[in-house]
């Protein structure tokens, strides 16, 4: 018998390695940086380092009037532009005590749900891509194009719609648009089974996501996590049902909230997919209602200089990625004195400090991708 001792270098067994993921990295959806401390292949601690895309939108709100801030507000989460605009105009309308025409209320609800589907389809395609499955992203973009066509027809924009206005919407819908929108929704719904078969039916995808990155309910509450990520951990809260706004009070029979108890990556993906189906059903209900409404105004006439009365208010909406809050303070001028934006991705991404320690580096991409964030929504 011959024994051989191999030297591995001084103190190598007890030395932690610091690894930076990003700020530019294929798995971080933009300029997010993760500072990981590793023990071999296992993560000991994780620190999200944010701010690389910070554009000072909240400060710019103070130098723009109430019509101009809509343009700034729709850009932080570039996958949910219509929903971002909506929260701002709801806050201003609340300050003004303004009633919006019924036709505008139902159209806003319809467009918010179509925007939600567009957001979710991007993640339904990109998440499998990050785990090595390239095919679903092609299907996701096919479905997105069908809906993008009808959104582009009414607003002229593919990402930044700028269709909301204080008091309603920019203009009425084009002739025949409701029929084209109904056809687009029907086509997308008819092909949604692809994600059940191609993604959820894939044993490799399920093996990479089941039981990985389990987010506890206590952590959800502690970090203010919201949206599909929170509901995947058993936190059954959705503003559209629990504090309804727009036309959601009349859609309670149609609205279904997807909830899971497992809290892992697979549960988050399942919640996202189920919520997409639910939004398509809500869009159909809105189209039915708009067909029944008589012709009428879709906005309110506003003065040339719009000033909100002195005071403050808080409006929040159930955005595709979670809760968006808008705290508006007015001094009676034509610009906000302060407009604080509470974005969903900022809170959601902080949970990585609890999720990543103890997991393998190989699972880091699966966990990060399942949090469904947009970096601009973190940095504002």
Q: Are 158 and 149 in contact (CB under 8 A)?
A: no
Closest CA to 120 of 277, 344, 286: 277
pLDDT at 6: 41
Q: Are 334 and 67 in contact (CB under 8 A)?
A: no
Q: Are 317 and 88 in contact (CB under 8 A)?
A: no
pLDDT at 133: 85
Q: What is the CA radius of gyration of the chain?
A: 23
Q: How confident is the model at residue 10 (pLDDT cuts 50, 70, 90)?
A: very low
* Stated length of the chain: 380
Does residue 366 sit in helix, strand or coil? helix
pLDDT at 196: 85
pLDDT of 151 higher than 50:
yes
* 315 beta partners: 326
pLDDT at 7: 42
Q: Are 205 and 131 in contact (CB under 8 A)?
A: yes
Average pLDDT score over residue span 240-245: 94
Long-range contacts of 159-162 (CB under 8 A, 24+ apart): 159/78, 159/81, 160/71, 160/74, 160/75, 160/78, 160/81, 161/74, 161/81, 161/82, 161/85, 161/111, 162/70, 162/71, 162/74, 162/85
Pairwise CA distance, residues 64 & 305, whole Å: 12
pLDDT at 76: 86
Query: Token digits for 266?
Result: 């697979």
Residue-by-residue DSSP string for 268-314: HHHHHHHHHHHHHHHHHHHHHHHHHSPS--SS----SS--PPSEEEE
Q: Are 283 and 195 in contact (CB under 8 A)?
A: no
Give the residue carrying structure tokens 């929504």. Answer: 377
Q: What percent of the chain has pLDDT over 70?
A: 94
Helices 177-190 & 135-155, crossing angle to 10 degrees? 170
pLDDT of 1 higher than 70:
no
Average pLDDT score over residue span 363-370: 90
Query: Token digits for 258?
Result: 């997807």
pLDDT of 11 higher than 60:
no
pLDDT at 267: 95
Pairwise CA distance, residues 157 & 368, whole Å: 30
Does residue 246 sit in helix, strand or coil? coil
Note the pLDDT tens digit of each residue in 75-102: 888 899 999 999 999 999 999 999 999 9
pLDDT of 223 higher than 50:
yes
Residue 69: CB atoms within 10 A of its CB come to: 24
Average pLDDT score over residue span 161-183: 93
Q: State how beta strands 24-25 and 164-165 pair.
A: unpaired
Give the residue carrying structure tokens 């610009």. Answer: 335
Closest CA to 358 of 127, 49, 37: 37
Note the pLDDT tens digit of each residue in 33-69: 889 898 888 999 999 988 888 888 889 999 999 989 9
Q: Structural domains in the chain?
A: 57-369 (1.10.645.10)
Pairwise CA distance, residues 123 & 116, whole Å: 11
Q: What is the largest CA-CA distance in the chain?
A: 95
Q: Is residue 23 reached through a cis peptide bond, with omega within 30 degrees of 0 on the bond before it?
A: yes
Q: Are 109 and 284 in contact (CB under 8 A)?
A: no
Average pLDDT score over residue span 312-334: 94
pLDDT of 123 higher than 70:
yes
Average pLDDT score over residue span 228-245: 94
pLDDT at 14: 52
Query: Token digits for 123?
Result: 């993640």
pLDDT at 288: 95
Pairwise CA distance, residues 43 & 39, whole Å: 6
């Amino acid at each position: 018998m011959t024994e051989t001792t191999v030297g591995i270098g001084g103190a190598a067994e007890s030395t932690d390695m610091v690894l930076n993921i990003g700020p530019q990295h294929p798995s971080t959806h933009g300029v997010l940086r993760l500072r990981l401390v590793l023990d071999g292949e296992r993560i000991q601690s994780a620190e999200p380092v944010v701010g690389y895309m910070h554009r000072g939108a909240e400060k710019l709100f103070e130098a723009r009037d109430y019509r101009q801030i809509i343009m700034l507000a729709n850009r932080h989460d570039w996958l949910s532009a219509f929903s971002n605009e909506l929260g701002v105009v709801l806050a201003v309308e609340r300050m003004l005590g303004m009633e919006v025409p019924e036709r505008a209320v139902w159209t806003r609800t319809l467009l918010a749900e179509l925007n939600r589907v567009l957001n979710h389809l991007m993640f339904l395609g990109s998440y499998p891509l990050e785990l090595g499955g390239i095919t679903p992203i092609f299907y996701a973009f096919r479905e997105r194009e069908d809906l993008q066509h009808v959104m582009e027809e009414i607003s002229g924009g593919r990402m930044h719609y700028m269709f909301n206005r204080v008091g309603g919407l920019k203009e009425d819908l084009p002739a025949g648009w409701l029929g084209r929108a109904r056809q687009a929704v029907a086509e997308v719904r008819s092909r949604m089974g692809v994600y059940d078969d191609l993604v959820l039916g894939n044993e490799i995808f399920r093996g990479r996501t089941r039981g990985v990155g389990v987010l506890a309910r206590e952590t959800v509450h502690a970090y203010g996590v919201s949206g599909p990520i929170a509901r995947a951990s058993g936190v059954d809260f959705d503003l559209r049902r629990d504090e309804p706004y727009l036309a959601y009070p009349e859609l309670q029979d149609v609205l279904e909230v997807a909830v899971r108890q497992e809290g892992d990556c697979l549960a988050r993906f399942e919640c996202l997919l189920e919520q997409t189906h639910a939004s398509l059903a809500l869009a159909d209900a809105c189209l039915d209602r708009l067909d029944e409404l008589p012709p009428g105004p879709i906005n309110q006439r506003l003065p040339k200089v719009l000033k909100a009365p002195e005071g403050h208010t808080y409006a929040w909406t159930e955005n595709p990625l979670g809760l968006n809050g808008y705290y508006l303070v007015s001094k009676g001028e034509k610009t906000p004195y302060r407009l604080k934006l509470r974005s969903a991705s900022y809170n959601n991404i902080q949970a990585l400090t609890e999720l990543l320690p103890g997991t393998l580096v190989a699972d880091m991409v699966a966990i990060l991708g399942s949090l469904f964030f947009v970096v601009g929504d973190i940095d504002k």
